[in-house]
Amino acid sequence: MFKRIFINFKKISGPSNDNQKGMKKTLVIFLFVILATSLYSQQDQGEHNYFITHTREELISKLVDLPCNIKPDDPIKTILNKLEVFLDNFQPASDYPDDIYAKAANMQALISVKQGGYGIGSVLIDSDGKIIAAAHNSQIQKHRSDLHAEMTLLTNFESSHKAKKYINLYVYKPGLTVFSSAEPCPMCFIRINTAGADTRYCTPGPEDGMVTRISCLPLSWQEMAMKHKSEIGKCSPIMQKIAHLLFYSYLLDNRGPK
Ligand SMILES: [Zn+2]
């Protein structure tokens, strides 16, 4: 297509009248739009691809690219310590209003990874934007199939005394949001909706997240999900990347059931 456009452009690139000048201008604009769209789409694809990691090598390469001074040969403990130092010192900026929650959720995720577990964390936010509970995945630590971060968060919260003012029987009053380091899985997304909270998350789960697959749910669950807000948070790229890499940190030592 580009060749044909170029030939046509050449045909009219000699001495030109007003009509031909107009055509040239249109062609130049057309070419510019095509080029810009192509570049944007490549960049978008690149960003999207970042959030898919299948091998330890890919994971290490992305960890080394973070501004955390991680080296390819660093032992796992050193990698985790460097991530911890970075997260501890990270100052959320107003450009990304959800970074304060992303930082808290990522720190929860890191606690789990340091314990030998999976790197997912979540926090519960009240209607004033205050974090009122926090939890991390503990499936490996406690040998329990249900202890995803969001499940633990809600179970612990519902069992606590402070939950009374936020809950009607078992359904939360409006205004509570579960913020997760990663896009919630089907089990957690349904639990959050059953509880009546909104869902927000830091890093997309292109291969496993349920928020972007609401249309796959049975109709009544879809209807329930549509009653609540479910969205990706306004987080900085660095928080998104760290959330993603913590999620896939099990590749570092191939932890989990064999
Ligand atoms: Zn889950």
The secondary structure element, H or E, covering residue 31 is helix 18-50
CA dihedral 195, 200, 204, 210 (to 10 degrees): 20
CA of 112 to the centre of ligand 1 (A): 14
Contact between 135 and 113 (Cβ < 8 Å) = no
Token pair in block for residue 169: 């029987």
- Least confident stretch, 25-34, 152-161, 167-176: 25-34
Nearest to 202 by CA among 119, 113, 84: 119
Three-class DSSP category at 136: strand
Dump pLDDT digits (tens) for 5-43.
444 444 444 455 666 666 666 555 555 555 554 544 444
Q: How far is CA 180 from CA 99, 122, 240, 248, in A?
A: 12, 4, 11, 15
- Provide the percentage of residues in the chain whose pLDDT is more than 70: 81
pLDDT value, residue 47 = 61
Total number of residues shown for the chain: 258
Q: pLDDT for 7-16, tens place per residue?
A: 444 444 445 5
Single-letter amino acid, residue 94: S
CA 122–ligand 1 middle distance (angstroms)? 10
pTM > 0.85: no
Distance (Å) from CA 179 to ligand 1 centroid: 12
CA of 34 to the centre of ligand 1 (A): 41
The pLDDT mean for the chain works out to 89
CA of 213 to the centre of ligand 1 (A): 14
Please list all protein residues whose beta carbon sits less than 5 angstroms from ligand 1, which is an ion: 148, 185, 188
Ligand 1 center to 177 CA (angstroms) = 15
**Dihedral of alpha carbons 109, 201, 208, 222, sign:** positive
Instruction: Give me the pLDDT at residue 6, please.
Output: 43
Q: Calculate how far, in angstroms, residue 196's C-alpha sits from the geometric centre of ligand 1.
A: 16
How remote is the CA of residue 211 from the centroid of ligand 1, in Å? 11
Order across the sheet with 198-203: list the strands.
131-136, 121-125, 177-182, 198-203, 230-232
Exposed (0-12), middle (13-18) or buried (19+): which is 124, by Cβ within 10 Å?
Answer: buried
The 10s digit of each residue's pLDDT in 129-140 is 999 999 999 999
- CB distance 53 to 251 below 8 Å: yes
Q: Nearest 5°: phi and psi at 167?
A: -125, 140
**How far apart are the CA of 56 and the centre of ligand 1, in A?**
22
Helices vs. strands in the chain: H and E counts, helices first: 10, 7
Ligand 1 geometric centre to CA of 190 (Å): 9
Q: How confident is the model at residue 49 (pLDDT cuts 50, 70, 90)?
A: confident
Q: Which helix (H) or strand (E) holds 125?
A: strand 121-125
Distance 208 CA to ligand 1 centre (A): 10
- Looking at the chain, the whole-number percentage of residues with pLDDT higher than 90 is 80
- Residue 171 Cα to ligand 1 middle (Å): 19
